[in-house]
Chains A and B, each alone.
Chain A
Amino acid sequence: MMSKINFLRPDKNNLNTFLYLGSFLFLISVLDVFINSFFSLNITGFLPGFLSFLFPLILGFVGLYFIRIEFSGIKQLDLLNKHINTNNFNAVLSLLIIFVVIKSLPPILSWFVIDASFAGDTKDVCTGSGACWTYIKVWMRRFMYGMYPNAEQWRINLSFIALVLMGSVGYFATDRFKKYLTLYYVVIYPLIAFLFIFFFISGGPVFFDFSYGIIAAILSIILGFFIPAKYKFYYFLIVPLALYITLKYFIFFEEYVELGKLDGLNWVETGAWGGLSLTFIISFFCLIFCFPIGMAFALGRRSNFPLIRYISVGFIEFWRGVPLITVLFMSAVMFPMFLPEDFFIDKLVRAIIAISLFEAAYVAEVIRGGLQALPRGQYEAAKSLGMGYWKMHIFVILPQALKLVIPGIANTFLALVKDTPLIFVVGLLEIVGMLNLAKTNPKWLGFAMEGYVFAAIIFWIICYAMSKYSYNLEQKYKTDR
């Protein structure tokens, strides 16, 4: 049955005619762009310039118009119409996107793969118009480890592998050990990581300085058992630090330093650390430090004591109001002025302190959000059980609040990772800094693009994986409640 065809109004009665005609026109338009971009052949070259340019768009538009038939009964066609072809405006946008993708594929592909050079290890092999991945290959060690001596790089690898293995303990822990996991991740794991990095990656005689800290911690914990519970918090706030300082400056003298020295590994100064491994080290330490500081200020901001509240608000708003780059400037040029003359703090440590304080303010706001989201009943129930402030927060409030804000914390951490390149301000070169250094090397001029694309891919993979992970966590906890 063939009814009258009106080409301005496609309808269901002439489904086949419109379908064939429409898909034909649509395919022709796509094919035209495809041939044009992949084989640089302009099959519509006979048309005047302007028309030739717009030809595929017009053809595709008419084609899509013809096949826009509602309830056609063909499943694929209905899906297509629903998804990319709901009205004229959407049809044009869809066509444009299809054409842009087809047009941009060949240059990108040829730059990345087809014309790129992979072999060799000098600049001479890079003669093609594509990317010079040889450059990345030659500089790989520098991008990964900075100026860390080649012969010692196994130390970084070993530390990272060990830390990843120890970090994955949580996945294999049996139920019996599950309850110790929090303790493990909050206290033991950071401590081990710290030891690893300062013994292993740094090397040299840092051992003894650190051992004061261990002695002070053990002593204060033992003494802590005899302190009444009421003052325990303030005790642990003050005494370990005081002990450490006393031990370091008054009791042990220089000659004892030799005692604890670990001579096996060469000392590598922090100025030589760099590359992607430095990004990881900084992110890791800042995460560890900013979390407790942020938690303290979040609690401080919700405290009933006005003075503590004002100080917390001031701290948080100050760090949130200034850019990280000025904070790093401060740590580089202003902070040394605030310390006693003979007191030297390594610039990596200064950078870590600065970034930690900065991120702590953001973490504090995230945690405050979690604290505010908890219903008042939780506080009241805990109080009615006779719990004090600290007991209430440690056993009732914080476990719930922190669970709520895990995605927020993950986002803050993501921002932290993306902020690490800024440490170029204090003269530390992580991967982006190393790229800038490498591109000024006279032997390898002119490969800025390859370097940045390489770093962008690495960062993108890290950050995308983290954001997906935090999204999954968010979904998981959403259903839990």
Chain B
Amino acid sequence: MNFKLKDIFPQLITVTAVVLVFGFFTYNAQINMENRGIDFGYGFLSQESSFDVQFSLIEYDGSHSYFRAYLVGLLNTILVSVIGIIIATILGVIVGVARLSPNYLINKFAAFYVEFFRNIPLLLQIFFWYFAALRALPLPQDAEAIFGVFFLTIKGLYIPAFIWQNFSVFFYSIVAAIIAIIVIRIHAKRVQENQGKQIPVFLISIGLIFILPLLSFLIGGVGISFEVPVLKQLATTSFIYEGGVSLPPELIALTLSLSLYTATFIAECVRAGIQGVGKGQKEAAASIGLTPNQVLKLVIMPQALRIIIPPTTNQYLNLTKNSSLAAAIAYPDLVLVFAGTALMQTGKAIEIVSITMFTYLTLSISISLLMNWYNKKIAIQEK
């Protein structure tokens, strides 16, 4: 063993300091909890929560446990994050490409959008949409239908609900289509490597993903009908919509501001990525006879994606973490339901805050692992 005091000493001091600080905190926490008569433990998770949540994806009311409340909050957080990520990605890619447009007006318009939304605090944007913009919407009884089926009112957006017959057949048909596409892609790659022939994978994929579900409608006995929201009078001045799916204004304000805000950052990532691919690459690809589509697909995109993905992952993480601002407008996400209401009721500050933080940590790490895996997959294989 090659022990050197010089190497051990600094580490020892650092570790001792960390241990001391943590020990100090734990010791104080124990004394404080003893004094206040709180006991430490996660047993409260199975107790009856006895509070209601106004919007939840799973069945929930006051008689369910705190753990169920935690799940409700977690699912609501994930819902906002996923919707936000999808919208922000679409918007961000469009704006990022628009910023590179040779068209002066489009370019400036995109730049204006980015500079405008990027430089205003997200919380302010959420407040603006929720307290100012969405409050200017009409009351349910005055709302005009959009396309005859959507109702945008001060109480939220009402959209028709799907009522499926034999939903499982439809679902399996989509799964089958996806599996078939993967098989065909692998096969196509092998064919190209062995024989140099190209199979139009993209067209086949599009065809499969539409035709299989369509077949399930025609012969699988799958049916679909819509339940359109209908205005209903509760009292002389109080109206609501019944039937269909209602999206609360909190959810709309939150997804809107999250995606508008994050899209500006994604747009900058996309712009940097596309600009990062050298001009020579495009010219070289064209000169060996690739068609413009092939140049984009085989040369530009793989290189641009390598530059785009790491910072975009960071933006996805930021969006997920920023979704916790929901607590400010009372959208029942993890922070509001669990670290807010549940904490106030049980007083278990340490347990609840640590669970909440641990959950966000897990979410962040799983997103970044997923994106790292994808990033590694598309990275240059250096020989």
Contact = CB atoms under 8 A, between A and B. Distances in A.
Interface stretch (B63-71, B101-109, B140-148): B101-109
Interface residues of B, number: 58
Contacts of B136: 449
Nearest to A314: B18
A286 B312 CA distance: 26
Interface stretch (A13-21, A36-44, A93-101): A93-101
Contacts of A318: 361
Contact of A311 (B18, B25, B135): B18
A463 B125 CA distance: 14
Contacts of B11: 305-308
B360 interface: yes
Interface in B11-52: 11, 13-15, 18, 24-25, 28-29, 31-33, 35
A308 B10 contact: yes
B322 interface: yes
Contacts of A317: 365
Nearest to B115: A464
A330 B123 CA distance: 19
A84 interface: yes
A418 interface: yes
Contacts of A337: 28-29, 32-33, 349-350
A456 interface: yes
Contacts, number: 156
B325 interface: yes
Nearest to B327: A325
Contacts of A340: 28, 31
Contacts of A339: 28
A267 interface: no
A459 B128 CA distance: 13
A453 B125 CA distance: 10
A93 B105 contact: yes
A436 interface: yes
A399 interface: no
Contacts of A177: none
Nearest to B35: A341
Contacts of B365: 317, 321
Which residue, of A86, A306, A326, has the highest number of chain B Cβ atoms within 10 A?
Answer: A326
A93 B343 CA distance: 52
B356 to A, nearest CB: 5
B32 to A, nearest CB: 5
B103 A234 contact: no
A199 B31 CA distance: 35
B179 interface: no
Contacts of B24: 338
Contacts of A330: 353, 357
B357 A418 contact: no
Contacts of B127: 432, 435-436, 448, 452
Interface residues of A, number: 57
Contacts of A329: 335, 339, 353, 356
B364 interface: yes
A417 B121 CA distance: 8
A452 B132 contact: yes
Nearest to B324: A323
A340 B7 CA distance: 35
A305 B10 contact: yes
Contacts of B364: 320-322
Contact of A325 (B29, B105, B325): B325
B124 A459 contact: yes
A392 to B, nearest CB: 15
B131 interface: yes
A419 B365 CA distance: 22
Contact of B361 (A97, A321, A325): A321
Contacts of A448: 127, 131-132, 135
Interface in B302-323: 321-322
B319 to A, nearest CB: 11
A61 to B, nearest CB: 15
B361 A341 contact: no
B238 interface: no
Contacts of A452: 124, 127-128, 131-132
B1 interface: no
Given A341-B31, A459-B120, A463-B119, A311 B357 contact: no
Contacts of B356: 326, 329
B201 to A, nearest CB: 27
Interface in A217-263: 234
Contact of B335 (A325, A449, A456): A325
B122 interface: yes
Nearest to A451: B132
A83 interface: yes
A334 B360 contact: no
A323 B353 contact: no
A381 B122 CA distance: 46
Given A82-B102, A341-B35, A419 B353 contact: no
A63 interface: no
Contacts of B28: 337-341
A363 B354 CA distance: 24
Contacts of B18: 311
Contacts of A88: none
A382 interface: no
A417 B116 CA distance: 16
16 contacts: A83-B105, A84-B103, A90-B103, A90-B106, A308-B10, A322-B364, A324-B321, A329-B339, A333-B353, A337-B29, A337-B32, A341-B35, A449-B136, A452-B128, A459-B120, A460-B120
Interface of A: 82-84, 86, 90, 93-94, 97-98, 234, 305-308, 311, 317-318, 320-326, 329-330, 333-334, 336-341, 417-422, 424-425, 432, 435-436, 439, 448-449, 452-453, 455-456, 459-460, 463-464, 467
Interface of B: 7, 10-11, 13-15, 18, 24-25, 28-29, 31-33, 35, 101-106, 109, 115-116, 118-125, 127-128, 131-133, 135-136, 321-322, 324-325, 327-328, 335, 339, 343, 349-350, 353-354, 356-357, 360-361, 364-365
The 10 closest A-B pairs by CB, nearest first: A463-B119, A323-B321, A83-B104, A338-B25, A323-B324, A321-B364, A449-B132, A321-B361, A418-B121, A307-B11
